[in-house]
Amino acid sequence: MSAARDVHAAARAVLAERDVETKLKGAERLWAEWNAGQLQTADSAEPVAPDFAGRPERPLLVPPNQLAKRTLRDREGHAALIHALAHIEFNAINLALDAVCRYPGLPEGFYRDWLQVAAEEAEHFGLLRDHLRTLGYDYGDFPAHDGLMQMARATADAPLARMALVPRLLEARGLDATPEIQQKLRGYGDAAGAAILDIILRDEIGHVAAGDRWFRHLCSLRGLTPEAAYRDLLGRYRAPRPRRPVNTEARLRAGFSEAELDALLDRD
């Protein structure tokens, strides 16, 4: 039986991959290898993450204010919305893999969680891309923005901030937005697209919960109160607060408390 490979280096190789198909297969393979005991954490305390995640030449990345508003007025607008969702999932693969290779020295459960997330995000991307192709388009056919990866770069040296501001903030916003998007898709006659979002919402609750779990673990190591630390990080990084309407049920299942949601939303 061959020796187990270094999980950090293995994740780095997939993270740096630019080809979409190779990255998807790589994320799925890493999760299978972890479950088969073929990957192990390294003793080194040095991160092995590349400076930038690998991505294909397309889509063209532009500032968010240069993106046209995605509406379901026609086939192109419909495809643009599905493309935007697929782009989020592609970035989420990179974000999960980045956590595996950027933050060594954490419990094995941390790497198990983010390898599972990477594999599930790859599945989500594949479902959305296949659906996009039924509309006559493919990933890369529309411009996109890089907001998730910008926050990843801003928190590269701070795992506490990364857990707080990527899964627990930006990805949690997806929990809030998904029911409204599903309603619009069903109204447009896209029951298949809405059904894909059922799968994604189910899994994303678990992904936000993983971020919440490790955020609280890191707070405990530092003697911090999670709710106060979260508010502090929002201010320090000038991060946006949750937008209304908030999917309270999904956020509670992902680890937020009622008191925290009330404070974040300034509810009485």
Q: What is the pLDDT of residues 185-199, one digit of tens each?
A: 999 999 999 999 999
> Are residues 155 and 98 in contact, defined by beta-carbon separation less than 8 angstroms?
no
By residue range, what is the domain housing residue 120? 1-154
Kindly report the pTM of this predicted structure.
Answer: 0.94
- Mark whether 55 and 112 lie in a shared domain: yes
pLDDT for 147 equals 80
Name the domain count of the chain.
2
Whole-angstrom CA distances from 111 to 27, 108, 267 are 13, 5, 36
pLDDT band at 44 (very low <50, low <70, confident <90, very high): low
Among 135, 154, 173, identify where a domain stops.
154
pLDDT for 268 equals 38
Residue corresponding to tokens 């061959």: 2
pLDDT band at 113 (very low <50, low <70, confident <90, very high): very high
| Alpha-carbon span 204 to 121, nearest angstrom | 9
- Mark whether 190 and 247 lie in a shared domain: yes
- Mark whether 43 and 121 lie in a shared domain: yes
Tell me the per-residue pLDDT of 89-109, one tens digit each, with 9 for 90 and over. Answer: 999 999 999 999 999 999 999
Among 154, 180, 199, identify where a domain stops.
154
Instruction: Choose between 98 and 43: higher pLDDT.
Output: 98
> Are residues 193 and 199 in contact, defined by beta-carbon separation less than 8 angstroms?
no
Examine the pLDDT at 43 and tell me if it is beyond 90: no
